[in-house]
Structures are given as C-alpha cells and as structure tokens.
Structure 1
Amino acid sequence: MPENDRLRNIRKETLSSAWYTLYRYDFEYRRSDGRWESRQREVYDRGNGAAVLLYDASRRKVLLTRQFRMPTFVNHNPDGLLTEVCAGLLDGADPEAAIRKEILEETGYRVEQLEKILEAYSSPGAVTEILHYYLAAYHPGQKEAEGGGVPEETEDIELLEFGFEEILEKVRNGEIRDAKTLILIQYAALFGPLRPVAREIQ
C-alpha cells in the first residue's frame, strides 16, 4: 500500500473474512500542525457497488424495491424492511454491466439507456465502498422477467411504484431512510426527471 507525506508505517491485519473482509490498520498520521500520531482504524471491505433510480416520465412514476435489512432491524427499524432504489455490488464487473444485471434480477426490466450521474463513498468512516449512481428510464413494455431477486442469494424483493409527487413527499416526511435512495431522488429533483414536479410542489 503506497504511503504519502501524511501517512507512514501502515500495518494491516485481517480480523474477519466470514462474509466480506474486516481489516485493522495501524499507522502514523501527520496532523495539520506537523505532529505525527499513532492511529488505529477498522475498515470493512465489501467491494464497490452501483445504484439506479428507475423512472417512467410518461406515467410520472418511479420504481423502488423493499427488502429486509438486518442491520436496520438491530438499529431501531421494527420490521427491518427498507424502501430503496435498485442496487448491488459490482463483484468485479463493469459498473454499468453490474447495474443492468441487478435491474433485471430485482425488477425484471431490461432498460435501454443508463445515465451515470456521480460516484460517492458510502460510509467513509468505516467502509471502503464507492457507489456508482445512475438514472434510467423504464416503461411497462420492457418487463422481461418477474424480478424479486435471486432466491439462491436469499433475496426476497418487493417492487413498489410511486408517483413523482408521492415519492417527493415521502422524502420530505422522512419515510425514505436509505441514503443512496435519498441521493438519487434529490439529484433527480434538482437536475433530472423530477425537477418539474419538485418546482410545482415547492
């Protein structure tokens, strides 16, 4: 691992590799005042991922998913269910190829065009993951499969369509609690297909 003028003596230890990989890093960090100090951080590596907001401009709809998320259940989400955009890990694939695969598996739709809008770290205090964010138009004629996820991967995904006004209201009242979903909806409201509706309801 390369060092730089603010890092030195980096040591890595694997703490767990049961599902993804948890590392502990010991290192020295040079503070802004020039002093070196010893630090230790745990870093969770689950790979990078991609997420997409599917929208149907003609029907003024967005397509989201809902599934059980154990980490939310243990942190005050009573049923563990979370409403989210379609998303998944890259597993070594190109981000666009990976998200197309996830869209088909989770929703059953085969979309034509993907618009990449940004990349961002998901939780930089502890997780290495970078998410690639997309917008994609869909319509009922693109439905090729049932969707719902891959049973062999223990996926059990419900599909939910919301009107443009309805999803913006859910953001406003705090019903959408997944960060990647909030990012994509807010981007679409500022710069994308939800912008005209967002202006109407302000």
Structure 2
Amino acid sequence: MVQTSESESRKLLGALRDAMAEDSAGQARLDKIVQLTASSMRSQVCSIYLFRDQDTLELCATEGLNAAAVHQTRMRIGEGLVGRVARYNQVINTADAPSAKGFRFMAETGEEIYSSFLGVPIQRLGDSLGVLVVQSKEAREFSADEIYALEVVAMVLAEMTELGAFVGDGDALSARHQKPVLFHAKSAQDGVAEGLVHLQ
C-alpha cells in the first residue's frame, strides 16, 4: 500500500511539474492542478481556496463542485471546515463532513452529496496562503499516505503562489507582493520617525 501511494505521489508530482512548465494563465494552471489532484487521489472533488484578504478565503478552482461557484464562494477565516483549516493551520480529515464541528453548508457549490472531507493548509514559512481540499461521496477517512500526498501538493502550491504562478483577475489571484500590507508598530518616543522596510 505504501509503495502504491509513493508511486502515485511521484506520478502526481511529475504531472504538477509538467503543468507548471506550460505557458498558461494562472487560472488555467489552478484548474489543471485540481484535475490532476482529484484524479490521483481518486476523489470526486479537489478545490483550492486562497486568501483574497487577510480575513477572507475565496474558492479559486475546483474539480467536482459547481464551476459557477469559482470566485463567487467566499468565507471568513474560521468559518466552515475550510475556514477552520486556515485559522488553525491544521489538517481536518473526516468521514462525515456535515456532522463535523464547524461545518457550514455552501449551497452554491453542490457539495451536499459528498461525505468525506480532507483539508490541508497551504502555507509557506508560517504564512497562511489558503486551503487545499479533497472530498468524496464515500464516507471514509483519508489514510496517512493520502494526507501526506495532499500536503506535498499544498507545499508545491504555496511555492508557486509565492512566485506568482497563479496571477489573474480578482483579489485572490493578484500578485502577492503588490498587495498593501499593514504593519502594526508602537512609538518609542513622540515625534517624527523615518525608516526603511526590507522585504524578503
């Protein structure tokens, strides 16, 4: 079983590498990734949710859910299972998603027919970028090997998001290093201050 999983993971990584090498737009790359991942994981659904701002996740690509919900379905951090994955940066793996703590039904996605849910955070250097989800009709918990495979895909997504591989229309697909950032600071002494900010 482990060898099969490793083989499937390797095939998936090879397919992702090829998809990233293609000269295609950001949305097309995301669409290809969810198709490849759903097929490799033998699940009916794979979805990518990315932050459009620091508090809001947006469904940016899906294989299996209603296509019309892409860029329309949004949720606050902590809202629903996807929002909980994003808030706590922890995997949620359940065979019965509707009964899981924090579940929120999103009617426009058509997800009511899916029981199993596996969500992993997309993060880089502790910075939360979004959530990667697979779902299936069969009521089952995903195996440790399947969780590992999805975490590897999330890691690739995080690196590619950071590099701007998914730039497109809309706030969730805007270039990360061109978004406004708010820095909180405290005054050490009243008066005027001047300084430099170094981004790494």
Structure with the higher fraction of residues in strand conformation: 1
Using the size of structure 2 for normalisation, the TM-score is 0.26
Structure with the higher fraction of residues in helix conformation: 2
Query: Which protein has the larger Cα radius of gyration, Structure 1 or Structure 2?
Result: 1
